[in-house]
Structure formats: structure tokens, C-alpha cells
Amino acid sequence: MLLVLVIAAVLWGIGLLMGAPKSARLSMIFVLYLAVIGIQATFPQGHPLVVSTGGSLAMWLMIGGAVALVLAYSTALQKLRQKADAKAAEETQNTAAQSLFSDTELNRYARHVVLREVGGLGQKKLKDAKVLVIGAGGLGSPVLLYLAAAGVGRIGVVDDDVVDNSNLQRQVIHKDEAIGTPKVLSAAEAMVAQNPFVQVVPYPRRLTVDDAEEIIGEYDLVLDGTDNFDTRYLVNEVCVEQGKPLISGALSQWEGQLSVFDTASNTPCYQCIFPEAPAPELAPSCAEAGVIGPLPGVVGTMMAAEAIKVITGAGAALRGEMMIYDALWGETRKISLKRRAGCPTCGRR
């Protein structure tokens, strides 16, 4: 038995000198133990190897059983410790949230705080976040309302249009009395009325090459719900240059799609997937082709959920994937997206 202990000590020492991890050293000891068990079980009694390794199979089995019990107890204790640490961390997050939010805010966001994936820390991230939403129309309406309701601290809204009677069938953030009012002002009023704890910054203009970099540079995350390709390509290019994640959504009649384009996380950009704008007759506007009223609500709400996931780090955002929703047939599917080597926007980066 002494020989076995000496060999075990030598193996442990060699592993230590070589910088082998503890698990590797324990594995070597375990292999030695199995070899000893094999010798005791297969060689006849009185054989020199049997004698030099203890001479008793029962003794080694008892030693192995005792070690197994100790390891099992240690593992269970470690798991209990991890659970206790996780609970303590959660309590710390909730305590921090209580010190950062007023009682009214805590009550407002209580359903987020109790979510394990969000918690107090995630709600603080939402409060500290700066999100730019481009377009206050069909997609922008639910996006803006839900981001405000979620407690995103600063929300910028870009749109150069005014509220029209024909918008109200689907652009639910605007009211009938807002007809003729700039959409960004109408949206800002509705958002602050919904949650006075958020800051809304309206930009009553169309985003152009002259101001896109400056405006987008002030925000952490961009959501694009516009209906023209010039703006989409411009926003995509600036987001790639600045390393900002871009959540893009689009609609047509009964079908909608959305994806998270985040080249900083090695995902494709918008132009990887749509290299060039389609011919006008292949991508008619909502005014030309029509759109079912609730569709922007479904897709826009999904965009808001993706934004919350990107900000808090909860779950898996739609990076490198596109979700397609068909309202006519009640079908949802996802497709994988890949970067395009020749992409003029992100290929050279």
C-alpha cells in the first residue's frame, strides 16, 4: 500500500510541476486507483504485485467508496453554495434597484424586477439606456410605447411626417385629434403620458447624411421602422461605422420581418442581406399595396422585445437570424443569415 501512496504522491508532484490543472492530476490518481483494483481482482493471492499494492481488494474498494462519499458531499456543498451566492446576488440587485428607483417606479417595473433574466440590474440597464427609433409610424408606434413602458431612460424619435387620417388604422400611438401634428410630437406626448419617468427627444426631420452620424452617435441602440430604402441603407452604414446594434423591421400587406444587425458581434449587416433596393414595383408602399392593421403591432412589439433583450443581455437576440411572421396564415419562421464577403458596407471591415 505504501508503494501506491508513493506513486500517487509522485504523480501529483509531477502534475504540479508541469502546471497541470487539479482535474488532470486527480484523473491520474484515479487511473492509478483503477490499475490497483485491476491487479487485486485479476492476479492470484500472494503474487508480488498484489502484496506490494496492499494485498486486499476489499480494502481498496472501501477506500474508493469513502473517497466517493467525500467527493459527493463536497460537490453537493459546492452546489448549495452556488445557489446561496446566486440568491445573495439577486437580493443585492434588488436592493440596488430599490436605491436607484422611486417606490412608484419599483411598483411600475415590478414584473420586470421579478423576472430572473431582467431583475433589478436589468431594469437599471434599461433606465441607463439611450435608444433611437427611426420612424414613428406603423412599426414605430408599438416600439415607442413599449420602450417607454419598459422604462428605457432616453428615447429619441426621428420622423419628418405629420399625422394623417389614413395613418390611424394601424399607427396606434397617434390619436384623432393629433391629425396634422408632427408625428414625433404626437408620439412624444403619448409616451410621456404613458410613463413620465422617461425622457423623449423628438427629431422632426428626415435623417440625412449631414446629421445621421451625429444623431446616431448619441445613442446605444437603433431601431429602424422606416418605409424607404435610402434611409435604411444610411442608418445601416452609420451603425456599422459606429459599432451600434441595429434592429430592423419591415412590413408588406400580411407579412412582416425583423432581425438584429450587429456587426460588432460578427453578424451580417442590413446590406449583406439586401445588397440593393428592389425595383419600386417589387416593393410597393403600404399606401399602394395595403397592410392589415394589427401587423405593425405584432412586428413592432417583437422589435421592442429584441431591444430589451439586447439592452439587458437576456436570452438570445435575433443576431444572425431573421424572423418572418405571416399574419394571413398564422405562421412564424426563422431563417439564418450570413455575412457577405463583398458587402460594400461591412465587407471591408
Domain membership flag for residue 177: yes
Domain membership flag for residue 347: no
167 and 269 together in one domain: yes
Q: Is pLDDT of 181 > 70?
A: yes
- Residues shown for the chain: 349
303-343 pLDDT, tens digit each: 999 999 999 999 999 999 999 999 999 999 999 999 998 89
Domain holding 330: CATH number?
3.40.50.720
Name the band, by pLDDT with cuts 50, 70 and 90, for residue 12.
low
Name the band, by pLDDT with cuts 50, 70 and 90, for residue 24.
confident
Which of 88, 120, 150 finishes a domain?
A: 88
191 and 59 together in one domain: no
CA–CA separation, 199 vs 193, rounded Å? 11
64 and 122 together in one domain: no
Is 334 in a helix, a strand, or coil?
A: strand
Which of 88, 122, 147 finishes a domain?
A: 88
Residue bearing cell 442581406 = 273
Name the band, by pLDDT with cuts 50, 70 and 90, for residue 75.
confident
207-220 pLDDT, tens digit each: 999 999 999 999 99
Give the range with max mean pLDDT: 64-68, 70-74, 126-130. Answer: 126-130
**Helices within the chain (DSSP H only):** 2-17, 22-42, 48-52, 57-100, 103-108, 110-113, 119-128, 140-150, 183-194, 212-217, 229-242, 270-273, 286-289, 294-312
Q: What angle do CA 330, 333, 329 make, to 5 degrees?
A: 20
pTM score: 0.72
* Structure letter (DSSP) for residue 40: H
Name the band, by pLDDT with cuts 50, 70 and 90, for residue 18.
confident
Once rounded to an integer, what is the mean pLDDT over residues 246-270? 95
348 vs 71, higher pLDDT: 71
pLDDT at 349: 59
pLDDT at 64: 76
16 and 77 together in one domain: yes
Domain membership flag for residue 94: no
49 vs 155, higher pLDDT: 155
Q: Which domain holds residue 15?
A: 2-88
pLDDT at 287: 75
Domain membership flag for residue 167: yes
The three state secondary structure string of 102-126 is CHHHHHHCHHHHCCCCCHHHHHHHH
CA–CA separation, 133 vs 139, rounded Å? 10
Q: Which three cell numbers stand for residue 70?
A: 467525500
220 and 316 together in one domain: yes
pLDDT at 127: 96
64 and 159 together in one domain: no
65 and 171 together in one domain: no
pLDDT at 88: 64
Which of 88, 120, 152 finishes a domain?
A: 88
78 vs 225, higher pLDDT: 225
CA–CA separation, 136 vs 182, rounded Å? 10
Number of folded domains that form the chain: 2
Domain membership flag for residue 106: no
Q: pLDDT > 70: what percent of the chain?
A: 90
84 and 119 together in one domain: no
118 and 182 together in one domain: yes
CA–CA separation, 54 vs 235, rounded Å? 76
229-239 pLDDT, tens digit each: 999 999 999 99
79-131 pLDDT, tens digit each: 888 777 766 666 655 555 556 888 999 999 999 999 999 999 999 999 999 99
Q: 10 Å Cβ neighbour count for 200?
A: 22
CA–CA separation, 198 vs 288, rounded Å? 36
43 and 178 together in one domain: no
Once rounded to an integer, what is the mean pLDDT over residues 72-78? 83
For residue 83, count CB atoms less than 10 angstroms from its CB and return exposed for 0-12, middle for 13-18, buried for 19 or more.
Answer: exposed
CA–CA separation, 115 vs 93, rounded Å? 12
Q: pLDDT > 90: what percent of the chain?
A: 63
pLDDT at 348: 66
240 and 292 together in one domain: yes
What is the chain's mean pLDDT, rounded? 88
